[in-house]
Amino acid sequence: METTVFERQRPAAKIVDDALAETKLACFWIEDIEGTVARYPALAGDLIADYAVVGGGFAGLWTAIKLKTEYPDARVVLLEGKRVGWAASGRNGGFCEASISHGEPNAEARWPEETEQLFRLGHENLDAIEKFIAENGLDAEFERTGQLAVANEPYQLEDLGESDEHHIVLDAEGVRARIDSPTFLGGVFEPGENANVHPAKLAAELARHAASLGVEIYEQTRVLRLGGSAGEPVALETANGEVRAEKVALCTNVFPSLLKRYTFHTVPVYDYVLMTEPLSDEQLASIGWQGREGLADMANQFHYSRLTRDNRILWGGYDAVYFAGGRIKPEHEDRMESHRKLANHFFTTFPQLAGVKFTHRWAGVIDTSTRFCAFWGQALEGRVQYVAGFTGLGVGATHFAAEVIADRFAGRVTERTELQMVKEVPLPFPPEPIASIGINMTRWALDRADHNGGKRNILLRTLDALGLGFDS
């Protein structure tokens, strides 16, 4: 089996050891805003609402804002089990991408007749987010930077395609003029595809804006059960009281659905991240990166990277780990094996940064669905709406998801609601232990493809044929 550039060009062990020696097991983004943002009370007693939103991540916050904006006289409450933005919304890489289908190849494979429409709607969605942030003065460090996808192996050059109005194909010299790495052989720059954002600030600012509109936000209020019947309000039971609402939006993403019919439609996959100290002017000049583009490579097990406002480098991805049983546990975040692998790959990519230290290491849990992008569900004649399954690309797509939920609650037939992507519900994952076996076999097969010139084995080809394949 072939080796990859990360095996052929390993950095010295001491460089990696020194870089990781003083890292803190903590999410940089969340720590960065600690003590500077509003906290919200826990629910204390029963209440009656017009709309209840469960989940204080991006999907829930956008949904609450959409509903309160459309119905200013309605009582809209948001219930969060811990703190606003503490989970995936505050822990991700901070890429707000245009795609709502997890990339064009995923759309082409599943909804070929909707590919162009999904591309357009995705870019309109990102434009709308940018406009909303600007008009409402949200301090989220939003930068419309574009996205650079790079080839690290010769076979990946075959997938670059040709330049058009949305994609600029670059040779090695063109890529390295943007971001200088000896591993980059070529790439594609998509100027309209991505914005960088401080995700924890975005969550905090969305909550602040929602509260200013009159949304009642309750933190430390975990919803334990959902109940209801025809003609009766939907009941949400918490340890602190019961909320009865005419309509309920469930935006719990990776956490177990309150609707049993969707129990197996997502699985939790852990993604690992490193953050460097701020680069000096000299260090930054050694790699260029003047356009501050979002960066990703083109392998099945890919890395993603970007600069922060103070010129730290976030470096994440590659290892996507599913732990047997599908449990979400804090101890899964401390996986030095993954963080060390990331550090090795970082210094292979940027050998000129030897000596740079990592200050933070952490992990986030991705709500993976079998189609690798969001899906929508419902119950109680549509009075309960559900969205999940963003599979790591939810920063931008959650805004689109909230608009779908608002449309459905209003009974509107729109371009969004009529999409096959929105109407269809994906296949569930099998129960354990089959899920563990299948997921880990697929992960092994993807790694093998990366070590075999990108050639997909019979397992991956079978999954492709069943509409369950994934290549990035």
Say whether both 361 and 412 belong to one domain: no
Selection from 297, 292, 314, 293 nearest residue 305 by Cα = 314
Short-list 362, 332, 78, CA closest to 220: 78
How crowded is the C-beta side of 62, counted as CA atoms within 13 Å?
Answer: 25
SS3 432: coil
Q: Scanning the structure block, which residue is given the tokens 């047997």? A: 324
Q: How far apart are CA 231 and CA 244, in angstroms?
A: 13
Given a cut of 80, whether residue 468 has pLDDT beyond it is no
* Residue 375's pLDDT band (cuts 50, 70, 90): very high
If you average pLDDT over residues 7-11, what whole number do you get?
A: 96
pTM to 2 decimal places: 0.96
The verdict on residue 110 lying in a domain is no
The more confidently predicted of residues 227 and 467 is 227
Q: What is the pLDDT of residue 218?
A: 98
Name which of 61-70, 188-197, 437-446 the model is least confident about.
437-446
Written as one letter, the residue type at 358 is F
- Averaged pLDDT for residues 282-311: 97
Domain carrying residue 404 = 37-95+200-265+371-423
Q: In this structure, is residue 116 part of a structural domain?
A: no
Residue 103, domain member (yes or no) = no
What average pLDDT does the chain have? 95
**Is residue 332 included in any domain, yes or no?**
yes
**Does residue 184 share a domain with residue 303?**
yes
CATH number for 318: 3.30.9.10
The count of structural domains within the chain is 3
| Residue 137, in any domain of the structure | no
Residues 376-424 have pLDDT tens digits of 999 999 999 999 999 999 999 999 999 999 999 999 999 999 999 999 9
Q: Is residue 134 part of a domain?
A: no
Confidence (pLDDT) at 211: 98
In a domain, 180, yes or no: yes
Q: Kindly report the CATH number assigned to the domain that includes residue 390.
A: 3.50.50.60
Share of the chain above pLDDT 90, in %: 89
* Cis peptide bond prior to 433, omega within 30° of 0: yes
Higher pLDDT, 192 or 1: 192
Residues 275 and 179 in one domain: yes
| pLDDT, position 472 | 40
pLDDT on residue 469: 61
pLDDT greater than 90 at residue 152: yes
Instruction: Look at residue 306 and tell me whether its pLDDT is greater than 60.
Output: yes
Q: Which two tokens stand for residue 386?
A: 């559900």
Q: Within this chain, do residues 216 and 341 fall inside the same structural domain, yes or no? A: no
Q: Single out the residue in 329, 345, 365 at which a domain terminates.
A: 365
Helix axes 199-213, 58-70, angle to 10 degrees: 30
Same structural domain for residues 287 and 356?
yes
Burial 280-318 (b: 16+ CB within 10 A, else e): eeebbeebebeebbbbbbbbbbbbbbbbbeebbbbbbbb
Q: Single out the residue of 141, 145, 114 nearest to residue 205, CA to CA.
A: 141
Instruction: For residues 51 and 21, state if they share a domain.
Output: no
The pLDDT score that the predictor gives to residue 261 is: 95
- Looking at the fold, whether 256 and 231 belong to one and the same domain comes out as yes
Do residues 377 and 416 share a domain? yes
Strands 147-151 and 294-297, sheet pairing: parallel
> Is the domain of 164 the same as that of 279?
yes
* 346 part of a folded domain: yes
- What is the per-residue pLDDT across 121-150, written as a single tens digit (0 to 9) for each? 999 999 999 999 999 999 999 999 999 999
Say if residue 382 is in the same domain as residue 324: no
pLDDT at residue 96 greater than cutoff 90: yes
pLDDT at 467 over 80: no
Residues 74 and 219 in one domain: yes
Is it the case that residue 459 has pLDDT exceeding 90?
A: no
Alpha-carbon distance of 58 to 40, in angstroms, equals 16
pLDDT tens per residue across span 203-248: 999 999 999 999 999 999 999 999 988 789 999 999 999 999 999 9
pLDDT recorded at residue 470? 56
- In this structure, the answer to whether residues 281 and 338 fall within a common structural domain is yes
